[in-house]
Amino acid sequence: MIERALAVAATVAVPVALRALPFRVTLALCDAWPRTPGARASAPALAFRVDRWMASGRAWWRPTCLTRTLVLYTMLRQHGHRPRLHIGTAGPAHHFHAHAWVSLGGLPVAELGASVEDYRELLTHDA
């Protein structure tokens, strides 16, 4: 029960923090999120949960890749995983695309459609 409550709280607190606080402060909040002893859901299961919950909360936040990635990063940490956060860009300087994703063991977690190999990493952050 505590695991689910913390997960739901992350889907609300992290997007609100991202809109209201500097990025570094929001990332520190994600890093300080409590872990749930004994809870160890798989990364794909957590990604599915984040996607489902984020899709139903569109009235509260825009489900951008950065918002989704920070919530997933937080929930992976909560479950004892050691994720790495990535933010990168692709394309020419005058019309670039930015993307955020999370990886475990060097492999992207639940990246749908887009290849992260095309992105030049600007920031990485380990849990």
Distance CA 90, CA 127 (A): 24
Full DSSP string of 32-60: HPPP-TT----HHHHHHHHHHHHHHTTTT
pLDDT in the model for residue 1: 75
Q: pTM of the predicted model, to two decimals? A: 0.91
What rounded mean pLDDT belongs to the chain? Answer: 89
Confidence band of 113 (pLDDT split at 50, 70, 90): low
For strands 97-104 and 107-108, give the pairing. Answer: antiparallel
Average pLDDT over residues 45-68: 81
Distance CA 9, CA 4 (A): 8
pLDDT of residue 86 exceeding 70, the answer is: yes
